[in-house]
């Protein structure tokens, strides 16, 4: 007598791989709203932990200028890298999607000049009305007036590291995430306010309107030109002037480093491939 054949085993379908989000019509990945917040939180936590470990190993005072300069660099870079890591989990970005692309040089220069003029006029009017105090805590924390080495190190942090990292985070990621979901002015105002709050918290809340307006101007320039090199150069120019004014003998270091930084940004606008054509 034949034994009954076993029932056929149904194949279990393999789990589907998660589908990456569809890119927006202009080619930018549709990163979620939580992405820049997660990048900021994780990067800030990692940076602070790293600085604490360095202070513990070296025995340095947590408020020493050298550790402050190193800590600022570590925190800024950590925030950018963590945001990049979160972005890569969703949709790995290409350089042009972060604004690292070229653009028409004359048009970019004209829009940048308009932005600089608008910020200059706003600063004059605001200073005349409010007369805000500027304690320049950053220069004091970096010990820029205590030695030549710290003066140069502080200039590198303020004029090179800060503009690159902050523009990548605030305009390359945060503004882009907001811009995908709302109109330009609302996205720019939110981005500018957050940019201003981060910086005003280390100086004075009286400086918040000026710093927020500066962030809004950077958004405008980035929106019109499509290149982050324009806002990095403008950011470096602003920090060059601020550093020279705030330090006792910092103009030589500020102008030297600032000139190299701005020249590099101009060359990048003219020479780096444009990727998707920048809006005009």
Tens digits of per-residue pLDDT, 130-177? Answer: 877 655 567 767 766 678 888 899 999 999 999 999 999 999 999 999
The angle, 0 to 180 degrees and rounded to 10, between the axes of the packed helices 105-130 and 251-271 is: 140
- pLDDT, residue 18, reads 47
pLDDT band at residue 182 under the 50/70/90 scheme: very high
Lowest-confidence range among 104-113, 213-222, 271-280?
Answer: 271-280
Q: What percent of the chain shows pLDDT beyond 70?
A: 83
Residue 78, token pair as written in the block? 């950590």
Q: Do 228 and 98 meet the contact criterion of CB atoms below 8 Å apart?
A: yes
Residue 10, token pair as written in the block? 């149904």
- pLDDT, residue 16, reads 47
Burial class (CB in 10 A: 0-12, 13-18, 19+), 4: exposed
- pLDDT, residue 248, reads 83
Tens digits of per-residue pLDDT, 7-60? Answer: 555 555 554 444 555 555 567 788 999 999 999 999 999 988 988 888 888 777
Residue 225 contacts by C-beta under 8 Å, 6 or more apart in sequence? 103, 107, 108, 111, 112, 278, 279
Rounded Cα–Cα distance for residues 46 and 83 (Å)? 12
C-alpha distances in Å from residue 44, one per residue of 39, 175, 192, 265: 8, 19, 20, 27
pLDDT at residue 183 is higher than 70 = yes
Residue 237 contacts by C-beta under 8 Å, 6 or more apart in sequence? 116, 258, 262
- pLDDT, residue 199, reads 82
Residues in the chain: 280
Tens digits of per-residue pLDDT, 105-138? Answer: 999 999 999 999 999 999 999 988 887 765 556 7
pLDDT at residue 219 is higher than 90 = yes
CA gyration radius, the chain: 23
Choose among 175, 158, 176: nearest CA to 216.
175
């Amino acid at each position: 007598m034949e034994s009954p054949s076993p029932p056929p085993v149904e194949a279990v379908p393999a789990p589907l791989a998660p589908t990456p989000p569809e890119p927006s019509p202009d080619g930018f990945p549709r990163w979620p709203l939580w992405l820049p917040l997660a990048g900021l939180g994780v990067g800030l936590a990692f940076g602070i932990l790293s600085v604490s470990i360095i202070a513990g190993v070296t025995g340095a005072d947590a408020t020493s200028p050298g550790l402050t300069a190193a800590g600022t660099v570590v925190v800024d870079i950590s925030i950018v890298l963590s945001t990049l890591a979160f972005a890569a989990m969703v949709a790995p970005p290409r350089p042009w999607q972060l604004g690292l692309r070229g653009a028409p040089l004359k048009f970019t220069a004209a829009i940048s000049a308009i932005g600089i003029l608008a910020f200059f006029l706003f600063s004059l009017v605001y200073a005349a009305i409010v007369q805000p105090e500027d304690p320049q805590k950053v220069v004091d924390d970096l010990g820029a007036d205590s030695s030549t080495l710290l003066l140069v190190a502080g200039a590198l942090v303020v004029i090179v590291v800060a503009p690159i990292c902050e523009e990548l985070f605030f305009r390359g990621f945060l503004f882009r995430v907001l811009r995908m979901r709302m109109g330009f002015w609302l996205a720019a105002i939110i981005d500018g306010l957050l940019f201003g709050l981060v910086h005003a918290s280390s100086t004075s809340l009286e400086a918040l309107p000026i710093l927020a307006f500066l962030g809004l101007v950077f958004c405008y320039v980035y929106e019109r030109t499509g290149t982050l090199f324009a806002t990095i150069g403008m950011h470096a120019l602003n920090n060059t002037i601020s550093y020279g004014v705030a330090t006792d003998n910092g103009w030589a270091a500020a102008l030297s480093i600032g000139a190299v930084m701005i020249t590099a940004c101009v060359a990048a606008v003219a020479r780096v491939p444009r990727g998707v054509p920048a809006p005009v």
